[in-house]
Structure 1
Amino acid sequence: MTTAGAQPFVEQYGALKGALPGVGLPWLAELREAGLARFASLGLPTPRDESWKYTNLRPLEKVAFGTPNGEAVSIDRLPSLLPAGASENRLVFVNGHYRADLSTLKSLREGVEIGSLAAGLERSPETVAEYLGQIAPAGGAAGEQPGEQPLLALNTALSGDGLMLRLGRGAKVKTPIEVIFIGAATEQALAYHPRNLIVLEPESQAVVIEHHVSLGGGATFANSATEIELGDGALLHHYKMQAEGPETFHVSTVHARVGRDAHYDSFGMSLGSRLSRNEVSVRLNGQGANCHLNGAYMVRGKQHCDTTTLVEHLVPRTSCREVFKGVLDDEARAVFQGRIVVHPDAQQSDGHQLSKAMLLSERAEIDIKPELEIYADDVKCSHGATAGDLDHEALFYLRSRGLPEGPARRLLIEAFLTESIEAIAAEDLCPAFLASIADWLKT
């Protein structure tokens, strides 16, 4: 039985399935059909679902989404949408379609594979089959992921193109790999479902930066999913800038498996969109595995920003650190749900989580739900959460030193957010994120 909210997407699958990446691969067709069946039975999540208690996607049901067009952006429009500076490896996707004419890929050495997922399915489908839908099973495998995750199931069914990165043992890509996702809609609303696959074999290293932007004033629904596999001793810096337009619904799901002595470093900044939800789930599978999950968000007007994290400590001597900070103005709303689970065999685990929010308006609102589930007795775990307005004593001090109120407020907001940005391990990327804060404060 198909739920009412799911029907338009089921119909879209019927119209698009012959043009989706990997047509002709039986295992992928089976994976897509399973995802579609699960989504059809579950429908869009609602506040009745515990993990979606504070975020309502009901407005999506009122939008008629058309077929995404990958030719909606010409090369002369690109500079205004891209970060400054040249990049050796830059992949550009428009409405979920890879645009080779807008992308740049350096000649790659042996053991380094960077390209689109669609190309990977043509070149080495057996490699993709080993990981796609296995790290992030549609809806979650028993005992692995919380909830039913209907939007992950929807992505599995309708997944378009995205990044495929695979590094062989010991390979290191020192320059950042930029992935640009452009949503381009005008009168016709569009929905697209990017899928990324990142596999780092033992002792390999990479930096991946995602940019999510919009062109045109039409409504878009960007429903992306990323699967990450880190072998023993691997290191991934994974950064994301989400700055889409005011009519965008942005949902991102990231699932990572981290091996022995491997490190997953994640930072996300959310500035745009009408509604955004960034969900990160990490499984620390090997001793010495660790992750840093950090983020910053700035919302105003009636924007809604949801950050949901899950870190599972499955074996002894694993660690995680989480720091998320946000600034809310006007009638904006934010959600932070952070869950750390320490399994029975995960002795000597170390997990810490911190969420801080600054509310610049009495009408702004944040819901904070930190959770610790500990089933081992030799652990160090903590969580903290605060929400409040500007420090009036600090504001008074700055004004007493001759600083006007506007610049003084901006200085305090920048200082508040800087802590989470300074946690970025790739220090040369910090200025770009700090500049985004300054730009937001000017508008």
Structure 2
Amino acid sequence: MNTISPDRGGPLALFSQRLEGLAGAERQQAVAALQHAGLPTRRVEAWKYTALRVLGQTSLSAPAATYDAAAARAALDHVLAAQDGLADQPRLVFVNGRHAPDLSVAPKGVKVTFFADAPRFGNAASPDRDPLVALNTALAEDGANIQVEAGVDGGTLLLVSIGLGGQALTFSFHPRHAVVLEAGARLTLVCVQAGQGAYFHNPVTDIHVGAAAALEHVTLQLEGAEAVGLGTVYADVDREGVYDSFALGVDGLLLRHEVHARLGASRAAVHVNGVQRLGGAQVGDMTSVITHAAPDCISRQTVRNVLDGHARGVFQGKVLVEQIAQKTDGYQMNQALLLSPDAEIDAKPELEIYADDVRCSHGATVGALDDEQLFYLRSRGVPDAQARQILIEAFVDETLGLIAHEGAQALCRAMLARKGGAGESA
């Protein structure tokens, strides 16, 4: 029997009972990896800025099999009402980690199966490399397997996860999703992570973009006010394929969006962009590792953080260029706007280059609202709060403009406007 000692890996003891006696080689390997490494602490380089002690000391059980249908519908409507154009799109909805057919609208032209019916863990996301992936591998119960056949335009698909928690953090769910685009296929996937209350949401998404295929992947983190959302994405991109991703972090006590993208064949392209708008005591972490494993590939990353109150943002972006990856073109930039003297940004852009014919650059900037611009707006009758919001919107506007899908971009803008309307320190 697998056992986890209470002092091994700190927060890992919260899952000890659920990790005992799991069946299946993949799950057993994941438990072994967890027993060896534990969950990450701040001594682990990739987690030095983000602590998991917010998970508390109460064992985290699996969510109940039933849920409040009215609350789930209300949470879904709250999102869809912000952008009418997306309300009519097909969607796959999961509540507390399980597929909710009554809230879903089946897509056409896209093949969908479910992890609960035939568990499949994929190849890119390895539990040996990431303890959160190992935890997901051990405890995953459901998720969506999405496949777009060669040459097919799958249109737009919403993947919605709704967490319904209480006042205390007592349960966790670990969806396992897979997305496969065959050669020449196209898809816009809008992932919305929404909810209320306290819970731990730990999704893993395994993505393959085939030759000359294109996936636009937009993720909105709108978790419950006391929720912890730690999402991991592994994307492998084939020859001339494009993986274009964007993450918006708005709601949740602790958010982390981690992307591992590999350009595995020539003339592939990866974009990993994002915006965070955080306040209060929120912590938001955007971490990426972009690996150039083939020549003549392009990667772009632009992340902007707007932080108020005692909020803390984290940007860790690594571009790894292997020796074979000549003619690499990589760009990475993080810019933070601090609205409070108590807000903090930890930025660590990083280049690791083994090829000698490349064009790579990175950078980071930190600043505050421009007093002269505020004075200009106020001198023309614009109230102070509105003037500040105008400048904040101007700061993130260029990055939001990188979202090609008009409906997804409008939804992101609407959620940012709601955050601004609730007050900068909320």
Letter in 1 for 2:57: K
- My pick for the range that moved more, 32-41 or 63-72, is 63-72
1:113 is matched with 111
Question: What is the correspondence of 1:17-416 to structure 2 with a 5 Å cutoff?
Answer: 17=22, 29-75=24-70, 77-82=72-77, 83-84=80-81, 85=84, 86-106=87-107, 108-109=108-109, 112-119=110-117, 121=118, 128=120, 132-140=121-129, 149-174=130-155, 176-186=156-166, 189-215=170-196, 217=197, 219-416=198-395
Distance 1:79 1:58, change over 3 A: closer
Any idea what the Cα deviations from partners look like across 1:143-188, whole Å, max 9, x if unmatched? xxxxxx11111111111211210111111112x1111111112266
* 1:14 pairs with one of 20, 31, 47: 20
8 Å CA contact 1:346, 1:376 repeated in 2: yes
Shift, 1:8, TM fit: 3.1
Q: Which runs of 5+ in 2 are unaligned?
A: none
Q: Which amino acid aligns with 1:137?
A: S
Q: TM-score, normalised to structure 2's length?
A: 0.92
Question: Aligned partners of 2:263, 2:72: CA distance in 1, in Å?
Answer: 42
- Structure 1: 5+ residue stretches without partners: 19-28, 141-148
Cα distance in 1 for partners of 2:305, 2:9 equals: 35
Amino acid in structure 1 at the alignment position of 2:101: A
Cα 1:91–1:70 change in 2 (3 A) is: farther
- Distance in 1, Cα, partners of 2:270 & 2:72: 37
User: Which residue does the alignment assign to 1:22?
Assistant: none
The Cα of 1:117 is off from its aligned counterpart by 2.5
Give 1:4 shift: 5.3
- Cα pair 1:91 1:115 within 8 Å, conserved: no
Is the Cα–Cα contact under 8 Å of residues 335 and 368 in structure 1 kept in the other structure? Answer: yes
C-alpha contact (below 8 Å) 1:10/1:36 kept by paired residues: no
Give structure 1 regions of 4+ aligned residues with deviation exceeding 6 angstroms.
none
Other structure's SS at 1:415 match: helix
Amino acid at match of 1:43: G
Residue deviations 1:357-406 (CA, integer Å, cap 9, x gap): 10000010111001001111111100111111101121122122221211
Give distance in 2, aligned partners of 1:49 and 1:97. Answer: 31
Matched residues, percent identical? 39
Q: Is the 8 A contact 2:14 2:57 kept in 1?
A: no
Q: Distance in 2 between matches of 1:398 and 1:416?
A: 15
**Is the Cα contact below 8 Å between 2:374 and 2:388 reproduced in 1?**
yes
Aligned residues: 409
Secondary structure (helix, strand or coil) at the match of 1:11 reads: coil
Bigger Cα displacement from structure 2, 384-393 vs 78-87: 78-87
Q: Partner of 1:143 in structure 2?
A: none
Q: Is the 8 A contact 1:70 1:99 kept in 2?
A: no
1: distance between equivalents of 2:216 and 2:208?
Answer: 13
- Residue 442, structure 1, aligned to residue 421, structure 2: yes
Q: Tell me if the contact between 1:315 and 1:346 (Cα under 8 Å) persists in the aligned partners.
A: yes
Structure 1 residue matching 2:18: 3-state secondary structure:
helix
Deviation at 1:299, TM superposition (A): 0.8
Q: Which amino acid aligns with 1:205?
A: R
Is the 8 Å Cα contact of residues 277 and 305 (structure 1) preserved in structure 2? yes
- Segment drifting more, 393-402 vs 270-279: 393-402
Post-superposition offset of 1:51: 0.6
Q: Greater shift after overlay, 310-319 or 1-10?
A: 1-10
When residues 36 and 61 of structure 1 are mapped into structure 2, their CA distance, relative to the original with a 3 A threshold, is farther
Amino acid at match of 1:280: V
Cα pair distance change 1:100/1:315, threshold 3 Å: same
Contact persistence 1:133–1:156 (CA under 8 A) = no
Cα offset for 1:70? 4.0
Q: TM-score, normalization: structure 1?
A: 0.89
Inter-partner Cα distance in structure 2 for 1:177 and 1:434: 19
Task: Give the Å deviation of 1:414.
Answer: 0.6
Q: Is the 8 A contact 1:75 1:102 kept in 2?
A: no
Specify whether residues 70 and 213 from structure 1 end up closer, same or farther in structure 2 by C-alpha distance, changes over 3 A only.
Answer: farther
